[in-house]
Amino acid sequence: MRYKMLVAYDGTDFHGWQTQNRPGKPSLRTVQEVMEKAVTTVVREPVNIIGASRTDSGVHSKGQVATFATTNEIPPEKLIMGINSWLPDDVQVRKIEHTDDSFNPIDDCTSKGYRYQLAHGCSNPLRKPLFDRRYIAYTAFELDLGLMNEAATLFEGEHDFSGFTKLNHGRESTLRRIDSCKVESAGEGVLNIDISGEGFLWNMVRIIAGTLLEVGRGKIAPEEIPAIIESGERMRAGKTLPAHGLFLEWVSFD
């Protein structure tokens, strides 16, 4: 039986989604590793869990989709209770259902949605996030959301985003399609940057968010964005914003 799961997690204390084995050293704590241990305990046989998105260290998720197969058929309502009882408090399976044997969350994914949460105008220490500081990044600058939105739309479409990733990104192609990019107010002094597309390079969303921050503070003009993308030069884009402001919101399939 193959099962499909909707998984949420607080990425603060994880080294990303993907298992990271280090020869001669203890493995790093990852979401995939703790989930495989929990599911193996419940189904009583080793499993390989495949996730749709390899979120980086510190990145959170509300909508990761993962799958595994087992020879033991267990009703989804019992399986979800069992797995969650063995998971740590910073991971939760929100939904489980049977799926087709051929389903692959990586190959079958058609789009993903990310949200970056940012508090701005935090030169006043009282405006810095406190109780939600693990989930919202901050900047001292007051940002112009109008300019940021004007620039955000220029990221949409298919482009070569080689200047918006790490040099050792490990991907054969840096062509990516962005379906939507927008900036919205999320309350006084807080904004959300929502980006969706077919897939993203290593740190790509966080670099786009950092570039939009520079637009919002007046260091980059919106009309410069196409030239920055076309240049492929990492130094022309904004800095990589901290991981803790980023959430994987959803994953979509045909």
Active site amino acids = 56
Strand 137-138 relative to strand 109-119, pairing: parallel
Q: Give the C-alpha separation, 138 to 122, whole Å.
A: 7
Helix (H, G, I), strand (E, B) or coil at 213: helix
Residues contacting residue 129 through CB under 8 Å, at least 6 positions apart: 119, 135, 136, 138
The closest alpha carbon to 251, from 63, 125, 123, belongs to 63
The closest alpha carbon to 44, from 82, 18, 81, 6, belongs to 82
Q: Give the C-alpha separation, 154 to 150, whole Å.
A: 7
